[in-house]
Amino acid sequence: MRAYFNRKYLLFALAVFIVGASLYYTSMLAGKLANEEKAKVIKIANAIKKLSTTENEQESALALFIVTENTTIPLIITHENDEIFDSKNIADTTKNEEENKLLVKKRLAEFKEIHDPIIVEFGTGKSYVYYGESYLLTQLRYFPYIQITIILVFIVIVVFALSTSYKSLQNQVWVGLSKETAHQLGTPLSSIEGWLELLRSSHPEEEAVIEMQKDLDRLKLVADRFGKVGSEPVLEEENLIIRLQEMVEYMQKRAPSKVNIHLHTTQEEVLVNLSGPLFNWVMENLIRNALDAMNGVGNINIIVTNFPQKVWIDVQDDGKGIPKHLVSKIFNPGFTTKKRGWGLGLSLTRRIVEKYHHGSIFVKHSEVGKGTTFRIIIRR
């Protein structure tokens, strides 16, 4: 478990480092390229001025070369009254002349937001060179976002793979533990049953023998439960109310005298598909947890609400409650607030409800000092 979370934190830290380094380096490159493009536009502005003022053919040819060699940076040249005089690297060959005029006007408004214009002064007035960003610079600015998206997708895939691997390993542990427990219990149970038969033959009416038989049957039920956890159980339609009533009576006999367990339902028959032994285990775990939380005094209410497509079973106690920061952890294997126990009861309970009965279980409500309500949803 700890190794699993350490991997996630390490992966997250690595992703943050990669994203941060990428953003910094890309921002640095984009800044350098933007400065180079601005310097190039200034040269072009000076060349435009030279073309308008010089009569030297060589200077004019050089200035013309500087202007025409620009094939990447979009430019718009205007007069002082914002009248568009010329444009470069903007027109779309698939559009007609009117559409391109509208396009240039739209780009002019965009360029004014991006950069201050380069002013070209003539003897009779001024012109303004507005410029945008080259396709390469635009792509470079968007690249970090593309990279972040790719990294996030990668993280999601890796976390999902780790989570799936962890759950698969957990399932294998459950199956192995369950089968081994059932196997280990089998031999002493057979031996005890043999000894009990010898006692019964000589003392058939002895109360101790009768009670020992009940305890033996109980141990067999426990072994059977573990055997079923390790394999897919067969679900059979049965009356949930009768099943719950039997569990209430069974647990009431084993509860402290000042604890009362009540079943609340408006119907005598609620048919659902269940694995009886496993569902009994679920209810026993929930009721035992409630008993542990009540310190020998209080009420446990089991409330059944029947719907056409599902059934709610609420197990409500007035015990000490669960702190909010622990609610999300109580179903984790190994988590327990008790001084004894392995912390597997609620984890097994959730596995039985969700994996074998295709339902769900969660803490509906809990308040420290007032009690907890677990809700089981069984879908038809």
261-279 pLDDT, tens per residue? 999 999 999 999 999 888 9
274 in the same domain as 183: no
Confidence at residue 354, expressed as pLDDT on a 0 to 100 scale: 92
Chain Cα centroid distance, residue 347: 19
Residue 116 and residue 257: Cα distance in Å, rounded? 86
Confidence at residue 246, expressed as pLDDT on a 0 to 100 scale: 93
Kindly tell me if the per-residue pLDDT of 73 is higher than 70: yes
Confidence at residue 170, expressed as pLDDT on a 0 to 100 scale: 67
> Smallest Cα–Cα separation from 115: which of 165, 189, 45?
45
Of the pLDDT bands very low, low, confident and very high (cuts 50, 70, 90), residue 305 is very high
Confidence at residue 45, expressed as pLDDT on a 0 to 100 scale: 79
**What percent of the chain is helix, strand and coil (3-state, nearest 5)?**
60, 20, 25
Half-sphere exposure of 373 (CA within 13 A, CB side): 13
Confidence at residue 3, expressed as pLDDT on a 0 to 100 scale: 53
Residue with tokens 């009533």: 245
Residue 319 and residue 317: Cα distance in Å, rounded? 6
Using one digit for the tens of pLDDT, what is the confidence trace for 76-108? 888 878 788 888 888 777 778 888 888 888 888
Kindly tell me if the per-residue pLDDT of 32 is higher than 80: yes
Across 159-184, b (16+ Cβ under 10 Å) vs e yields: eeebeeeeeeeeeeebeeebeebbee
Decide if 142 is inside a domain. Answer: no
CA gyration radius, the chain = 39
Angle, vertex CA 169, rays to CA 166 and CA 175, nearest 5 = 140
Domain CATH number, residue 373: 3.30.565.10
Which amino acid appears at position 233 of this protein? P
Kindly tell me if the per-residue pLDDT of 12 is higher than 90: no
Domain containing 83: what range?
Answer: 2-132
- Assess contact for 142 and 72: CB atoms under 8 A: no
- Assess contact for 63 and 56: CB atoms under 8 A: no
Percent of the chain with pLDDT over 90: 27
Which of 231, 263, 290 is the endpoint of a domain?
Answer: 231
Other C-beta atoms lying within 10 Å of the C-beta of residue 194: 9
Kindly tell me if the per-residue pLDDT of 282 is higher than 70: yes
Which of 184, 211, 231 is the endpoint of a domain?
Answer: 231
Full-model pTM: 0.53
Q: Which residues pair with 42 in a beta bridge?
A: none
Stronger pLDDT, 149 or 170, i.e. the higher one: 149
Q: Which residues pair with 237 in a beta bridge?
A: 273
260 in the same domain as 202: no
Residue 113 and residue 327: Cα distance in Å, rounded? 52
Which of 231, 253, 271 is the endpoint of a domain?
Answer: 231
Mean pLDDT of 132-155: 82
Residue 330 and residue 86: Cα distance in Å, rounded? 72
**Per the structure block, which two tokens stand in for 188?**
């002493």
203 in the same domain as 175: yes
314 in the same domain as 184: no
Of the pLDDT bands very low, low, confident and very high (cuts 50, 70, 90), residue 239 is very high
Of the pLDDT bands very low, low, confident and very high (cuts 50, 70, 90), residue 316 is very high
DSSP state of 267: -
Of the pLDDT bands very low, low, confident and very high (cuts 50, 70, 90), residue 229 is low
325 in the same domain as 212: no
- Assess contact for 378 and 372: CB atoms under 8 A: no
Q: Which residues, other chains included, contact 171 with Cβ-Cβ below 8 Å and sequence gap of 6+?
A: none
Mean pLDDT of 308-328: 93
Kindly tell me if the per-residue pLDDT of 290 is higher than 90: yes
Residue 363 and residue 314: Cα distance in Å, rounded? 10
193 in the same domain as 105: no
Confidence at residue 261, expressed as pLDDT on a 0 to 100 scale: 96
Confidence at residue 94, expressed as pLDDT on a 0 to 100 scale: 78
Torsion from C-alpha of 219, 334, 292, 289, nearest 10 degrees: -70
Task: State the chain's mean pLDDT as an integer.
Answer: 83
Confidence at residue 59, expressed as pLDDT on a 0 to 100 scale: 65
**Which range has highest mean pLDDT (54-58, 274-278, 286-290)?**
286-290
Using one digit for the tens of pLDDT, what is the confidence trace for 321-369? 999 989 888 887 766 766 655 556 788 899 889 988 999 999 999 999 9
Kindly tell me if the per-residue pLDDT of 242 is higher than 70: yes
Number of domains in the chain: 3
287 in the same domain as 218: no
Confidence at residue 283, expressed as pLDDT on a 0 to 100 scale: 95
Percent of the chain with pLDDT over 70: 85
90 in the same domain as 161: no
Residue 288 and residue 338: Cα distance in Å, rounded? 12
> Smallest Cα–Cα separation from 235: which of 202, 274, 283, 197?
274
Torsion from C-alpha of 284, 337, 367, 253, nearest 10 degrees: 30
Which amino acid appears at position 312 of this protein? W
